[in-house]
Amino acid sequence: MNQRPDHTQLTAPDDGIAKGAVLLEVRNVSLAFGGVKAITDISFDVRKGEIRAIIGPNGAGKTSMLNVINGFYTPQQGTIIFRGIERRAMKPHHAVRQGIARTFQNVALFKGMSTLENIMAGRSVMMKRGIGWQMLWHGPALAEEIEHREKVEEIIDFLEIQHIRHIPVGKLPYGLQKRVELGRALAMEPSLLLLDEPMAGMNLEEKEDMSRFIIDVNQQRGTTIALIEHDMGVVMDLSDRVVVLDYGKKIADGPPDEVKNDQAVIDAYLGVPH
């Protein structure tokens, strides 16, 4: 069968939340590191099917917020409600199992491993049976292995990275490393995808490619996306709603056009170089 895979089949798993309903709610979250208040009493939500941007100057608390959402940090106050389940503390691997995957501000891949191996590694968190079972090559394990391989191949095809599948990612240009990292997150089949500055350090062409992939992930797979991004052109183009942080506080929240003209946002962020 040489037919190209139909990418519309690559849908996010059914998380039981209707399109447009609240998928994630961050409620009154505060997080401090010693005396440093990274996040102060922040609340916002992410609705199923949307692209939600998180913007703000360096040190505003954006990355910390993603780390709270995916369980890296436990806030001193407040809760996270994901798919209707409320919690404060959660381990990152539990977050993955519940459908939250992410990429990092500084690419976090296994540099000596190939593109294919890195994406398979993302997939491994989904594997029901342990590696021992895989090795035994038993019927059920074999079927599962084949299914995982098919999903990974679909992602490689979707992201147009066939030509680098066997190259160690440390040897790839930065823009492609970012794409591989997106692939690894997609391999987890998230219902909520968190992207921390997915276009940082990219040239214009790489940014356009990444924008297109983000839109395709959202529209074709139905994946809800929360992304941190500095390029306001990208934010305006991609996002349905924007939350703006400054010094750990939320200073604005709304559609991009509205946020862009908000005086507090202009003063804190848009009017200053970053």
Ligand X SMILES: Nc1ncnc2c1ncn2[C@@H]1O[C@H](COP(=O)(O)OP(=O)(O)O)[C@@H](O)[C@H]1O
CA distance 176 to 202: 10
Q: Nearest residue to Mg ion, using CB?
A: 63
Return the residue of 48, 52, 62, 179 that touches ligand X, per CB under 6 A: 62
In a 13 Å sphere around the CA of 88, the CA atoms on its Cβ side amount to 9
Q: Which residues of 189-205 are buried (b: 16+ CB within 10 A; e: fewer)?
A: bbbbbbbbbbbbebeee
- Measured from the CB atom, the residue of 46 and 119 that comes closer to ligand X is 46
CA distance 155 to 126: 15
For 169, the token pair is 């990612």
Cβ contact 176:161 at 8 Å: yes
137 contact choice in ligand X, Mg ion, none (CB below 5 to 8 Å, kind-dependent)? none
Q: E strands along 175-223, which residues?
A: 192-196
Stretch that binds ligand X, among 54-62, 96-104, 171-179, 264-272 (CB under 6 A): 54-62
Return the residue of 60, 188, 202, 242 that touches ligand X, per CB under 6 A: 60
The answer to whether residue 218 forms part of the interface with Mg ion (CB under 5 A) is no
- Measured from the CB atom, the residue of 7 and 230 that comes closer to ligand X is 230
Contact set for Mg ion, span 14-73 (CB under 5 A): 62-63
- Tell me the closest approach of the beta carbon of residue 73 to ligand X, in angstroms: 8
Beta bridge partners of 12: none
Return the residue of 23, 29, 38, 172 that touches ligand X, per CB under 6 A: 38
Stretch that binds ligand X, among 6-14, 30-38, 202-210, 257-265 (CB under 6 A): 30-38
Beta bridge partners of 224: 192
- Tell me the closest approach of the beta carbon of residue 160 to ligand X, in angstroms: 29
3-state DSSP call for residue 91? coil
Residues that bind ligand X (CB under 6 A): 33, 36, 38, 56, 58-64
